[in-house]
Amino acid sequence: MLFLRKVRDRISLPLRPKGIEKIGLTSSATEDSHLEANRKLHLYHRVHRWDPNLDDEYLDEVHRAANSYDGSSTNKRMAQKVSENSPYPEVRAAVRNKDEDVPVDTIRAWTIGIFLTTVGSGLNSLFALRAPSIVVSSMVALLIAHPLGLAWAKVMPNKKIKVFGREMELNPGRFNIKEHALIAIMANASIGNGHAYFANTILAQVKFYNTDFGTGSCYSFAFLRLLADHGSESRGVMGNMSCNQYPNGRIRYCRAASSDSCRTSPPNPATTNGWRIPRYRYFLYLFTGAFIWYWFPGFIAPFLSVFAFATWIKPNNPLVNQLFGGWTGLSLIPITFDWTQIAGYVQSPLIPPWHAIGNTMIGTVVTYLIVTPILHYTNHWYARSLPIHDSTIYDNTGHPYDVSKVLDADRTFDLQKYKAYSPVFLPTTMSMTYGLNFAAIAALIVHTVLFHGQQIWIRARDVRGDLDDIHTRMMRKYPKVPVWWYLVLLSGCLVLCFLTCVAWPTHLPWWGLLIALLIAFILTVPIGIIQGSTNIQIGLNVFTEYIVGYMLPGRPLGMMLFKTYGYISMAQGLSFIQDLKLGHYLKINPRSLFWAQVLATLWSCFVQLGVIRWSMGNIEGICERDQPNRFTCPNGRVFFAASILWGLIGPRRIFSGKSIYAGLQYYWVAGALAPIVFYIIARIFPRSRARFVNTPILFGGTLMLPPATTLNYLAWGIVGVVFQKHIRYRFTGWWMRYNYITSAALDTGLAISTIVIVTAFQLSNISFPSWWGNTTALQTMDQKGTAIIDPLAPGETFGPKTW
């Protein structure tokens, strides 16, 4: 560490000119003004120095202005530029530097918001049971809300009614941008992350563990889960501070840009690379095309979904199917004509910045296309007797692990039964993903300290508001949410959570709940900073599994609860903060935001659980591998596999000592060292590409795999590079106006088309007439999940003799 400190001292760039600490002793008022501007510019440069979303030229311009003490006009212009607007072009193009005095809390906004929350929550719950899953994003709700709001303004009468003793106008006039944003925030609070995570816990418990505590317990758990998530992360100090903790624009790109999507003025061809079409007409055309097209890969010709032509040539060759298959293979030739495969698991590639996509692609290629085949075909971890990619864990006969064979009467772990049965074996890609999870958490902590530690420290001490921009200053006129609102919500949630843990046999003690929430509290800021600049969130699911597996071994149900509390509390809290930032940009009353988020979150939990309970009782064969309509519960299956791995058997028997997968523990070391290496390179060569290397994303960008596949990530990355790198910089005008609309149109067309296909045909067991594209093309080892290099004969076993 002493050596690294010396290296840092020698290569560090000056943070401020010499003598700046003595500013203002004998200077004139004008001189003080210049020096104050320079002081703010220095703070600004120090905060944004490693920001990958800012161009080198812009950062150099800020640095030069900060070191200019001659009162030049350049210095004044730059000081005004950084204080009066956002440095991000996506934000500048979408957010106005003024506050429109229009109504927000209207019957129209609340009615449309609750309606879209209900529909979106229900659809996401249904689609999450399907493979591949489909996410109805909040962008879809944002765009659908606009025509609904316009129709309301034209149709509804202009009269006043009383709601809870408050007189409100049924039709307050023109549908405005603040109403639109409030609806989008309600949708994001309920469907922004797809289906509710608690659904995976319930599916694993009911369908895979065959343990059902009843509808009442499920509703209680769902209610407490989402309420606890919201309360624990929206606590007053954390919530109010975090809105200002992140620099302007460091929210999801879609949040900033979509705030402008309700403006329908005709485009200027000079600024849109010659395009004249209005955005909503463009959206309608593309939506219609996406709706029609999905009938082919989704119903008529499913071979288009995974266009693995090599497997059609050799349908029964395990090597070909492992290398070129798209369902259970590595997809070395990633071809798909299905937007579901591109955006189903990883969400739209038209949202993250290019550097985030690049880091994810590097991690995918190195880990899954180079390292994974080497380990698999050299029979490391006895991998040749297993599929190369799958979301199932196996026993030593090559069959799915039968959890009932290692459980006692109380449904806890029985060591003797475990020793008589089998150790756990993981498909190679799943093993690599667990190792990457270890590396991602270690890299997250070290990367945040090195690249963002100064930024966090400066912003935490910025009590004067030196880094406040015009949006922050304009928001000061609105009353803040009282801290006691958050504290009351948090206190109530904690009480109910403790009661839930002890009222049912969850096997999670009260102190375990506190540790889970503490993990979420500590890691929210580091994960939020990474997500803010990349639009990719590093999950805490495996980390919480790892902790509880050592802390409470042999308790799978307790593990699932601990994991859900520790992981989703963080994720829901960051979603809350992102919406605060959107409201911050659009100047929405913080108290209106608070109630919109809380009520939408609570209502969605009932809707989603209702859909899940209905699906389990009405969809025949749900969660079975051969379910004809693909309702195989991929997320719940992975959740169940993780509960066996981490909660029932425990990480000590799988990753410690002389166990099969003990070598994966070295990923903790690799994750901790990688940020240090790239930090030193970035300090020595400050304008090199090293500053774009984000090691948490390099290791953690592919953590949805499995149940996602390499085809999902490779196709996502290829499309993302085209739009976010090539089009973004060569056709900037088009990209600024149409990129996010393109993403939303494809998402919406896919979602609506899937709804029609599922409800009108698949749920009624109506299939398209048989032909090669939906019969023979699907009879491959890749499709069946049987591509194994060394299959076992009946009664044969593999692996170690003792464990």
**Which residue did the predictor score with more confidence, 344 or 426?**
426
Sign of CA dihedral 295, 771, 630, 323: negative
| Residue 89 lies inside a defined structural domain of this protein | no
**Which residue did the predictor score with more confidence, 411 or 778?**
778
| Residue 91 lies inside a defined structural domain of this protein | no
Same domain? For 540 and 630 the reply is yes
Q: Are 538 and 700 in contact (CB under 8 A)?
A: yes
How are beta strands 166-169 and 160-163 bridged, if at all? antiparallel
| Residue 1 lies inside a defined structural domain of this protein | no
Q: Give, in order, the Cα–Cα distances in Å from 694 to each of 362, 667, 675, 689.
A: 11, 16, 8, 11
User: 799, 654, 784, 802: which is closest to 322 by C-alpha?
Assistant: 784
The radius of gyration of the chain from alpha carbons, rounded to an integer in Å, stands at: 27
Same domain? For 191 and 47 the reply is no
Same domain? For 198 and 286 the reply is no
- Going by C-beta distance under 8 Å and a sequence separation of 6 or more, which residues neighbour residue 277? 267, 285
Same domain? For 613 and 663 the reply is yes
Report how far residue 633's alpha carbon sits from residue 625's, in angstroms, rounded to the nearest whole number.
9
Which of the four pLDDT bands, split at 50, 70 and 90, describes residue 320?
very high
Rounded to an integer, what is the distance from CA 576 to the centroid of its chain?
13
**pLDDT value at position 672?**
95
Question: Is pLDDT at 759 greater than 90 in this prediction?
Answer: no
Q: What is the mean pLDDT of residues 358-365?
A: 94
| Residue 349 lies inside a defined structural domain of this protein | yes
Q: Which residue's entry shows tokens 């106005």?
A: 96
Strand, coil or helix: what is 782?
helix
Question: Is pLDDT at 396 greater than 80 in this prediction?
Answer: yes
Q: What is the mean pLDDT of residues 6-10?
A: 42
Q: Which residue's entry shows tokens 């600004």?
A: 44
Cα torsion 223, 227, 228, 234 to 10°: value is: 170
| Residue 506 lies inside a defined structural domain of this protein | yes
**pLDDT value at position 365?**
95
For 63, the domain range is 33-84
Q: Which two tokens stand for residue 78?
A: 């730059």
**pLDDT value at position 573?**
80
Same domain? For 440 and 464 the reply is yes
User: 360, 367, 368: which is closest to 536 by C-alpha?
Assistant: 360
Question: Is pLDDT at 327 greater than 50 in this prediction?
Answer: yes
Q: Which two tokens stand for residue 10?
A: 């020698």
Which of the four pLDDT bands, split at 50, 70 and 90, describes residue 226?
low
**Which residue did the predictor score with more confidence, 597 or 71?**
597
Which of the four pLDDT bands, split at 50, 70 and 90, describes residue 239?
very low
Q: Are 274 and 256 in contact (CB under 8 A)?
A: no
| Residue 255 lies inside a defined structural domain of this protein | no
Angle (deg, nearest 10), helices 56-66 and 73-84: 120
Which of the four pLDDT bands, split at 50, 70 and 90, describes residue 243?
very low
What digits encode the pLDDT tens for the residues 466-509?
677 777 777 888 888 888 888 888 887 777 777 777 777 778 88
Length of the chain: 803
Q: What is the mean pLDDT of residues 695-704?
A: 91
Report how far residue 559's alpha carbon sits from residue 553's, in angstroms, rounded to the nearest whole number.
8
**pLDDT value at position 309?**
93
The phi and psi torsions of 544 (rounded to 5 degrees) equal -65, -35
Q: Which two tokens stand for residue 430?
A: 């799943």
Question: Is pLDDT at 83 greater than 90 in this prediction?
Answer: no
**pLDDT value at position 313?**
93
Question: Is pLDDT at 560 greater than 50 in this prediction?
Answer: yes
Report how far residue 566's alpha carbon sits from residue 490's, in angstroms, rounded to the nearest whole number.
15
- Write down which residue in 19, 50, 84 finishes a domain: 84
- Write down which residue in 638, 668, 698 finishes a domain: 668
**Which residue did the predictor score with more confidence, 720 or 505?**
720
- Going by C-beta distance under 8 Å and a sequence separation of 6 or more, which residues neighbour residue 153? 108, 171, 173, 174, 175
| Residue 258 lies inside a defined structural domain of this protein | no
Report how far residue 382's alpha carbon sits from residue 394's, in angstroms, rounded to the nearest whole number.
11
Q: Give, in order, the Cα–Cα distances in Å from 759 to each of 195, 756, 762.
A: 19, 5, 6
Question: Is pLDDT at 775 greater than 80 in this prediction?
Answer: yes
Q: Give, in order, the Cα–Cα distances in Å from 306 to each of 230, 335, 446, 642, 715.
A: 38, 7, 39, 27, 11
- Write down which residue in 612, 636, 668 finishes a domain: 668
Which of the four pLDDT bands, split at 50, 70 and 90, describes residue 222?
low
Give the chain's domain count: 3
Question: For 20-24, 273-277, 489-493, 528-532, which range has the lowest pLDDT when averaged over its residues?
Answer: 20-24
Which of the four pLDDT bands, split at 50, 70 and 90, describes residue 437?
very high
What digits encode the pLDDT tens for the residues 113-156?
999 989 888 888 888 887 766 667 676 787 788 889 989 989 88
- Going by C-beta distance under 8 Å and a sequence separation of 6 or more, which residues neighbour residue 379? 790
Question: For 184-188, 340-344, 351-355, 755-759, which range has the lowest pLDDT when averaged over its residues?
Answer: 755-759
Same domain? For 119 and 214 the reply is yes
User: 398, 437, 430: which is closest to 641 by C-alpha?
Assistant: 430
Question: Is pLDDT at 605 greater than 90 in this prediction?
Answer: no
**pLDDT value at position 20?**
36
Which of the four pLDDT bands, split at 50, 70 and 90, describes residue 270?
low
User: 754, 761, 773: which is closest to 133 by C-alpha?
Assistant: 754
- Going by C-beta distance under 8 Å and a sequence separation of 6 or more, which residues neighbour residue 60? none
Which of the four pLDDT bands, split at 50, 70 and 90, describes residue 386?
very high
What digits encode the pLDDT tens for the residues 636-669?
877 777 777 788 788 888 888 888 999 999 999 9
**Which residue did the predictor score with more confidence, 30 or 728?**
728
Q: What is the mean pLDDT of residues 237-246?
A: 40
Report how far residue 755's alpha carbon sits from residue 299's, in angstroms, rounded to the nearest whole number.
12
The one-character DSSP state at 379 is T
Report how far residue 139's alpha carbon sits from residue 192's, in angstroms, rounded to the nearest whole number.
9
Question: Is pLDDT at 447 greater than 70 in this prediction?
Answer: yes
Q: What is the mean pLDDT of residues 543-555?
A: 87
**pLDDT value at position 17?**
40
Same domain? For 68 and 131 the reply is no
Same domain? For 225 and 298 the reply is no
**pLDDT value at position 93?**
58
Q: Are 131 and 193 in contact (CB under 8 A)?
A: no
**pLDDT value at position 384?**
93
Report how far residue 604's alpha carbon sits from residue 122's, in angstroms, rounded to the nearest whole number.
8
What digits encode the pLDDT tens for the residues 363-378?
999 999 999 999 999 9
**pLDDT value at position 466?**
66
Which of the four pLDDT bands, split at 50, 70 and 90, describes residue 6?
very low
Q: Which residue's entry shows tokens 């795999």?
A: 705
Q: Give, in order, the Cα–Cα distances in Å from 383 to each of 288, 337, 427, 645, 681.
A: 45, 31, 7, 17, 37
Which of the four pLDDT bands, split at 50, 70 and 90, describes residue 277?
confident
Same domain? For 574 and 692 the reply is no
Q: Which two tokens stand for residue 80?
A: 């005004």
Which of the four pLDDT bands, split at 50, 70 and 90, describes residue 28?
very low
Question: Is pLDDT at 24 greater than 50 in this prediction?
Answer: no
Q: What is the mean pLDDT of residues 596-610?
A: 85
Q: Which residue's entry shows tokens 């797809």?
A: 194
Same domain? For 541 and 654 the reply is yes
Same domain? For 202 and 299 the reply is no
**pLDDT value at position 438?**
94
- Going by C-beta distance under 8 Å and a sequence separation of 6 or more, which residues neighbour residue 140? 120, 744, 747, 748, 751
Same domain? For 182 and 303 the reply is no
| Residue 8 lies inside a defined structural domain of this protein | no
**pLDDT value at position 225?**
52
Q: Are 752 and 359 in contact (CB under 8 A)?
A: no
Question: Is pLDDT at 263 greater than 70 in this prediction?
Answer: no
